[in-house]
Chain A
Amino acid sequence: MNDSRGPWYLLTGVMIGLALGVLWGWYVAPVRYTDTQPSSLRDDYKDEYRTLIALAYAYNGDPGRAQLRLALLDDPNAPESLAALAQRANALGRPAFEVQAISQLAVVASAPSAGVPTAVPLTVFPTLTPPPAATATATSGPETPTEAPQSPTPTATPPPTETPEPTGTGTVAPTAAPTGTTFPSATPQPTPGSPFILESRLLTCAGPGDPLLVVRTLDDSGTGVPGVEIILTWTENEEHIFTGLKPELGLGYADFSMTAGTVYTLRLADGSQLITDIQPEQCESSGGQLVWGVLELLFVRP
């Protein structure tokens, strides 16, 4: 090299090395995450995770455990996410018990943690310790990263008692030791009560809009019952809807937009009486206009 060029060659070397280092770190041997948390799952996998939580809850009837599992997804809008998931599952024709399970879980998610009934014996459930950040391991082999590099945004605060474990070879690291966290144990789900009985049938004038059928289900204490499957049939069609998919309107609430001129029959899947001759009706609003009314059926479980 010609000494007359000055020290710029050093800066050139640093820049070349920098570029090589970044290329190596991002493309050849990127940071590879093992031991991730459920909160980092892709959205569709989160939905599967929620469905699993719901089915597990439908089996064990343990709201405390269900809430802890939901917390792992770090979703501040869990009730809304679950209600939307239940609606999608219903639209996709998923089994009724799955839709019911998800809507039941939406109710659990909307209940405050301290208010969840845990009238079951407490036993040690060792998993689901607070999540540390995922373990980062640099791989040595060629690999194409699938995620775009972004600014680091820590998603979880590691607990002070737990330290990430080294994973020098890129394998799944050992897990956290049992911490003795107490969780309610699994208990069988309570058996359903007697069939619902139609308590009232009321037409109200809510204003302009499509004719709407509203179904409310209450238990004997007047509390809304979510997850009740409602079967609507008309001409040669059938539709299944569920209470509790709009928890903001009540746990036992379900609605259905009717079509003018169509006559529907309705029954609850638990074997309630058949309600016939359901059809859109018009009524006079407070302004004197003729509008479609909201037909509300109230079912009570005695």
Chain B
Amino acid sequence: MSRWIKFLIAIGIGAAIGLFYSWTINPVQVVDSTPDTLRLDYRSDYVLMVAEAYQLERDPAAAAQRLGRLGTDPAVLIVQQAVVFAETAGYTEIDLNLLVQLRDALQTWNPSP
């Protein structure tokens, strides 16, 4: 076997060790994450909390601002995703209604320019 081939194999072995170290042994650690990275069930519960807060405040702008933490999608779409999850995950009727009410409120809400 040519020395060049052995050399390239050695590089490959080193790279594999390096990747194993950086992906498995000492990966970039998840700290200081943002709400948009939350797992879908946590996201849905976050949206539910926004919906519960909305019942107190009746302020679509505040709700939309909070939902903006969950990503760049439109707020209505974020709530709709939570509604879909809530339906499949078996949320109570009360919680489902809260989500639907928030979604409907955001659908008719026109943010001021």
A residues touching B (Cβ–Cβ < 8 Å)?
1, 3, 9-26, 30-31, 33-38, 40-43, 45, 48-49, 52-53, 55-56, 58-60, 69, 72, 97, 123-129, 131, 134, 136, 138, 145-147, 149-153, 172-178, 185-186
Contact = CB atoms under 8 A, between A and B. Distances in A.
Nearest to A13: B10
B90 A178 contact: yes
* Interface core residue of B22, B26, B39 (most chain A CB under 10 Å): B39
A20 B39 contact: no
B53 A186 contact: no
A20 B16 CA distance: 9
B94 to A, nearest CB: 5
Main secondary structure of the interface of B (DSSP, over half): helix
A38 B7 contact: no
A10 B27 contact: no
15 contacts: A22-B18, A24-B19, A25-B18, A34-B37, A45-B35, A48-B35, A49-B46, A55-B49, A127-B44, A138-B23, A152-B29, A175-B44, A175-B85, A175-B89, A177-B89
Interface string B11-36: 11111111111110111111111110
A48 B42 CA distance: 14
B14 A127 contact: no
A52 B29 contact: no
B55 interface: yes
Given A36-B38, A41-B33, A42-B31, 15 more contacts: A1-B7, A13-B7, A13-B9, A17-B18, A20-B11, A24-B19, A25-B21, A33-B30, A37-B39, A56-B48, A69-B45, A138-B23, A174-B40, A175-B41, A186-B92
B74 to A, nearest CB: 17
Interface string B63-100: 00010010000000000000001000111101100100
